[in-house]
Amino acid sequence: MNPPLESKAPLTGGIFNLAGQYGVCVIGDHNVTYQIVVATQEQAAALLAELKEGRRKIEQVPQAAPLPTLVLQITPIANSSPSRWQLTCRHPAAGPDEPVNPIEFPSPRTPPFDRDLARSHEMAAAAQPKTEQRATLTALAMAIGDTLTALVPEPERKTLDDLGRAEGPPPFLIIDMTCGKSGW
């Protein structure tokens, strides 16, 4: 996926049906895709028309939510020895029919990673009123994030890097770690 870094062209978009609700997906400036869910198909069509005709800007629609640029889904492979993980890259703006090609690789788990993950789960379960506690939680999140971000395949990393250097908001990345029945 190599989207253009910036789009000053008229908005483009489409309508989809989601369990009795209708959504409008709109690609705005800087290739950011927004999703707006409304109650009826007529509302969706009217909103899309207003946006396309320039009578409204996407920033004026309070329920407009930017979609992530990339979602990395990480799942441990049950009963693998040595431990292996599966990584799936999804691009929500591409829609549900986007083909995915999961990648298997050795688990990057180490005793320090496991310790950081357990401590961050424990600390994140309650408010941290002290500045030093919040700093500790931030440091744990950064260490975990560094380990997980290293798993991003090179083409995806390049896209995120290019988007991060372009004008506009930074790319939105979600890392979804699914434990499964076997746990981590």
CB atoms within 10 A of CB 115: 12
Is the pTM of the predicted complex or chain greater than 0.85? no
Domain map (residue ranges) of the chain: 12-66, 70-177
Instruction: Give the tens place of pLDDT for each residue, 91-112.
Output: 877 776 777 889 998 988 889 9
Percent of the chain residues past pLDDT 90, beyond the cut: 14
Is 47:38 a contact under the CB 8 Å cutoff?
yes
Percent of the chain residues past pLDDT 70, beyond the cut: 81
Q: What's the mean pLDDT in 56-62?
A: 82
Amino acid making up residue 3 = P
Instruction: Give the tens place of pLDDT for each residue, 79-95.
Output: 888 889 999 988 877 77
Nearest-angstrom CA–CA distance, 164 and 36 = 24
Task: Give yes or no for residue 13 having a pLDDT over 80.
Answer: no
Nearest-angstrom CA–CA distance, 136 and 129 = 12
- Residue 98: name the closest of 128, 127, 67, 134 by CA: 67
CB-neighbour burial class of residue 56 (10 A; exposed 0-12, middle 13-18, buried 19+):
middle
Which residues, at least 6 apart from 1, have a Cβ–Cβ distance to it below 8 Å? 91, 94, 155, 156, 159
Nearest-angstrom CA–CA distance, 140 and 113 = 9
Nearest-angstrom CA–CA distance, 167 and 130 = 36
